[in-house]
């Protein structure tokens, strides 16, 4: 993974997570399926809470200070 790789978490610092270059495709698939199942289980249990946290952390309210007058028709 290069230093420029964008992670879904948005993290850009921390410990690198190295993936063994000697994995077989079957090993890589097993890890991928494990992580996918974990993601699904977390979503089933915490989905609504996760949506709210993601909304709060990644989509801050827009800055409406530059809008003139919202009462006038467009």
Tally of structural domains, the chain: 1
Task: Please say whether the beta carbons of 16 and 3 come within 8 A.
Answer: no
In a domain? residue 45: yes
In a domain? residue 34: yes
Q: How confident is residue 66, by pLDDT bands cut at 50, 70 and 90?
A: low
Show the domain range for 31: 23-58
In a domain? residue 48: yes
In a domain? residue 47: yes
Q: Mean pLDDT over residues 46-58, rounded?
A: 90
Residue 3: phi, psi to the nearest 5?
A: -65, -20
In a domain? residue 37: yes
Between these two residues, 17 and 49, which has the higher pLDDT value? 49
In a domain? residue 50: yes
Q: Has this prediction a pTM greater than 0.85? A: no
In a domain? residue 39: yes
In a domain? residue 16: no
């Amino acid at each position: 993974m290069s230093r420029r790789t964008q992670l879904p978490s948005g993290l850009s610092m921390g410990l690198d997570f190295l993936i063994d270059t000697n994995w077989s495709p079957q090993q890589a698939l097993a890890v991928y399926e494990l992580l996918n199942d974990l993601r699904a289980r977390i979503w089933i249990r915490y989905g609504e809470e996760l949506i709210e946290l993601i909304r709060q952390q990644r989509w801050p309210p827009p800055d409406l200070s530059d809008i003139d007058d919202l009462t006038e028709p467009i």
